[in-house]
Every structure is written in structure tokens, then in C-alpha cells.
Amino acid sequence: MVPAKRKPPAVTRRQRASAHATPRNDDTILLEFSMSPLTQGASVGRYVSRSLEIIDQSNLPYRLNPMGTVIEGPWDAVLGVVKSCWERMKEDCDRVSTIVKIDYRKGKTGRLESKIASVEKTLGRKLKT
């Protein structure tokens, strides 16, 4: 997307600050969401499964846990997956409730694994994951 530049000019403080804001790594977020219909009774596994199908086919790295799914990627890609799940669910569910948590940390990727690894390293042992 960013064309290669020949002979880069000297970099001023101001330019460095704005380079700081370049889109490359900045855009990666860690997002957890859970989405449920309020209109289909206590068993909503069937609807959650359809969301997981959409997430799995997005090719974004993800992890399913008992209370939600964590996806890593650029804002638009990840939020696009959440929107697709919502559009599918509202096809036959008249009320849909969604919770989203987003953790952005400048210049960091691979956090699906590294955040847990960091806690385990601090404690010096494996935790239940």
C-alpha cells in the first residue's frame, strides 16, 4: 500500500512523530466479543455456532473461550467480522445483544499468544487456559 521511496530525505522530529502514526502495526487490535439473541430461549448454541462459522472463515487468528471469542487483526477486518455475525443473527432474531472489548497497543501483534505467555512467565508456571 505504501509505495517504496528511493533516497529517503533526512527525518525531522516532526516527521518521526507522524511516522509514529503510520498505519502498519498501529491498526492491529485484540477484540473479544459475545453476541446472543434475547428471543430464542436459554439454548443459544445454534446461533453462536453460526457466528463461529463466520469467524473461522474470516481467516483472522482467533480463540474461542466459554464467554466469547477473541480475534486479532486490523480494526476494519475485525469489526467487519462482528458486523457479519450481527447481520446473520438478525435475519431470524428480533433482538440481539452484543458485548465487545477492544485492546489496542501500539506496534504489538501476536498478542493472542503473548499476553498469556507473559503472565505465565511472570508467575513462573503454566495456568489453565
Residues near a second copy, by CB under 8 A: 21, 26, 30, 32, 34, 36-42, 44-46, 48-49, 52-53, 56, 61-68, 70, 75, 79, 83, 86, 90-91, 94-106, 111-113, 115-116, 118-119, 122-123, 127-129
Closest CB 4 distance from a second copy, rounded Å: 20
CB of residue 8 to a second copy, shortest distance in Å: 23
Q: Which is nearer to a second copy, 15 or 38 (CB)?
A: 38
Nearest to 99 by CA among 85, 118, 113, 88: 85
**Burial call 56-92: b when 16+ CB within 10 Å, e when fewer:** eebebebeeeeebbbbbbbeebbbebbeebbebbeee
Q: 68 vs 27, 49, 90, 103, CA distance in Å?
A: 22, 12, 18, 15
Nearer to a second copy (CB atom), residue 4 or residue 21: 21
Nearer to a second copy, 3 or 94 (CB): 94
